[in-house]
Amino acid sequence: MTPEEQTEIRKRQKSRNLALGGLLVFLAVLFYAITFVKMGD
Amino acid sequence: MTAVTALTLPADWRDFFALTKPRVMSLVIFTGLCGLLAAPGHIHPVIGFTAILCIALAAGGAGTLNQWLEADIDAGMKRTAKRPIPAGRMRPNDARDFGIALSVASVLIMGLGVGWTAAVILAISILYYAVVYTIWLKPRTPQNIVIGGAAGAFPPLIGWVAVTGDITLMPVLLFAIIFMWTPPHFWALALFIKSDYAKVGIPMMPVVRGQASTRKQILVYSVLLVPVAAAPWFIGGAGAIYGITALALSLIFLALSVPVAFRHSEEGDAMKPEKRLFAFSIIYLFALFAGLVLDRVAAYQGFIA
């Protein structure tokens, strides 16, 4: 594996981790909001 | 060697996004949202947002599973050969897992957050698209588009049921409108790109039954679309704003399909009428559903009866 490939793999892993992290934060906020709305019913 | 190297790289997140067929999803989100907004009753904005999100996730999941299942077919067509799996940018199993994750998550979130009636219909629509359509009937019958059209007809029905919690005639009519709209919409496209489907052995109507039969069937569905699209007005489920919009749009649709039905094209034909019908069919669906929402909002605000 060349250093260029190593860098590219790290770059993609990082962007995927950021996307997944963002998704998890979004879902946590969404479930929090849903819970509050349901408690109001 | 480059192909092997490419496969060892983790797939770019953009390729996962591309698997969800974002352009198809935009129509799904729009019609789902219209079903939700046109339904009688109230839904909390957060719950409404959740419902639309789940419809979009499910469409993405079903689209992903479709591309996992059809990677070999996609590889043989110019239009689809650049998709992530046939182009070698993604491992097929990664796509499969992503598709299943999206599908399962969408149904669970819909069930827990919005309601189980909507969740069950959502699950049925995913299975219908991925299994009944993609695996079973698309490679077997030239009526595949008619059958596949039903899958695309689910979003407004689900959006409506997310609000009301039960299935009545109105959401079924919204389903029927998209069901009748899909064959002329897609066959108009298939008439001017048919060579690609013939190459990979998908029995598209123009290839199997010939273009004369396809053209007649386009007309049949366009004729049927007029009463179906106007039906919400006739049964009192929508008012005059929707009724007049639906009738006008459907009659233009019919007028554009008549020249398509009664002509014959040779090699090198510019296919102007077919392209015009296809382009209008997209405007048709957006305008029709926008008209419905406008009509219902006006009614709930007390502007019309």
Residues 6+ apart with CB under 8 A from B99: B19, B61, B62, B63, B64, B65, B68, B130
- The partner residue sitting opposite A30, judged by closest CB among B12, B13, B50, is B50
pLDDT given at position A6: 87
> Do B47 and A15 make contact, defined as CB atoms within 8 angstroms?
no
> Do A9 and B10 make contact, defined as CB atoms within 8 angstroms?
yes
Least confident of B31-35, B54-58, B145-149: B145-149
Identity of residue B126: I
User: How many beta-carbon pairs below 8 A join chains A and B?
Assistant: 31
Query: Among B188, B263, B191, B250, which Cα is nearest to B224's?
Result: B250
Reported as a pLDDT band with limits 50, 70 and 90, residue B34 is very high
Secondary structure (DSSP) of chain B: -HHHHHHHSPPPHHHHHHHT-HHHHHHHHHHHHHHHHHSSS---HHHHHHHHHHHHHHHHHHHHHHHHHTHHHHHTSTTTTTSTTTTTSS-HHHHHHHHHHHHHHHHHHIIIII-HHHHHHHHHHHHIIIIIIIIIITTT-TTHHHHHHHHHTHHHHHHHHHHHSS--HHHHHHHHHHHHHHHHHHHHHHHHHHHHHHHHT---HHHHTHHHHHHHHHHHHHHHHHHHHHHHHHTTSS-HHHHHHHHHHHHHHHHHHHHHHT----TT---HHHHHHHHHHHHHHHHHHHHHHHHHHHHHTTS--
pLDDT digits (tens, 9 = 90+) for B243-295: 999 999 999 999 999 999 999 888 888 899 999 999 999 999 999 999 999 99
pLDDT given at position B290: 97
Contacts of B50 in chain A (CB under 8 A): 30, 34
> Do B47 and A34 make contact, defined as CB atoms within 8 angstroms?
yes
**Structural contact between residues B226 and B251, judged by C-beta atoms closer than 8 angstroms:** yes
Contacts of B104 in chain A (CB under 8 A): none
pLDDT given at position B195: 63
Distance from CA of B16 to the nearest CA of A (A): 10
Q: Per-residue pLDDT averaged across B23-46, rounded? A: 94
Contacts of A8 in chain B (CB under 8 A): 9
pLDDT digits (tens, 9 = 90+) for A7-32: 988 988 899 899 999 999 999 999 99
For CATH 1.20.120, list the domain ranges present in chain B.
168-305
For CATH 1.10.357.140, list the domain ranges present in chain B.
11-166
Angle at B133 between CA B131 and CA B138, to 5 degrees: 125
Least confident of B1-5, B41-45, B250-254, B272-276: B1-5
How high is the ipTM of this complex?
A: 0.89
pLDDT digits (tens, 9 = 90+) for B72-127: 999 998 889 999 999 999 999 999 999 999 999 999 999 999 999 999 999 999 99
* pLDDT above 80: residue B179: yes
Contacts of B44 in chain A (CB under 8 A): 37
- The partner residue sitting opposite A16, judged by closest CB among B10, B53, B112, is B10
Distance, in Å, from the CA atom of B123 to the CA atom of B158, rounded to the nearest integer, reads 11
Instruction: Look up residue B261 and give its two tokens.
Output: 């039905």
pLDDT given at position B8: 63
pLDDT given at position B119: 98
pLDDT given at position B4: 44
> Across chain B, what does the average pLDDT equal?
93
- The partner residue sitting opposite A8, judged by closest CB among B9, B13, B46, is B9
Which CATH fold topology does B11-166 show?
Answer: Tetracycline Repressor; domain 2 (1.10.357)
- The partner residue sitting opposite B13, judged by closest CB among A8, A9, A19, is A19
Reported as a pLDDT band with limits 50, 70 and 90, residue B12 is confident
CATH for B168-305, options being 1.20.120, 1.20.58, 3.40.50, 1.10.3210: 1.20.120
CA B304 to mean position of chain CA atoms = 31
Of chain B, the percentage scoring pLDDT greater than 90 comes to 80
Distance from CA of B127 to the nearest CA of A (A): 24
Comparison of pLDDT for A5 and B215, the residue scoring more: B215
Identity of residue A16: R
Contacts of A24 in chain B (CB under 8 A): none
* pLDDT above 80: residue B304: no
> Do A37 and B53 make contact, defined as CB atoms within 8 angstroms?
no
> Do B46 and A34 make contact, defined as CB atoms within 8 angstroms?
yes
Distance, in Å, from the CA atom of B60 to the CA atom of B66, rounded to the nearest integer, reads 10
> Do A34 and B113 make contact, defined as CB atoms within 8 angstroms?
yes
* pLDDT above 50: residue B5: no
**Structural contact between residues B75 and B86, judged by C-beta atoms closer than 8 angstroms:** yes
* pLDDT above 50: residue A2: yes
> Do B113 and A8 make contact, defined as CB atoms within 8 angstroms?
no
CA B270 to mean position of chain CA atoms = 26
Instruction: Look up residue B254 and give its two tokens.
Output: 């019919």
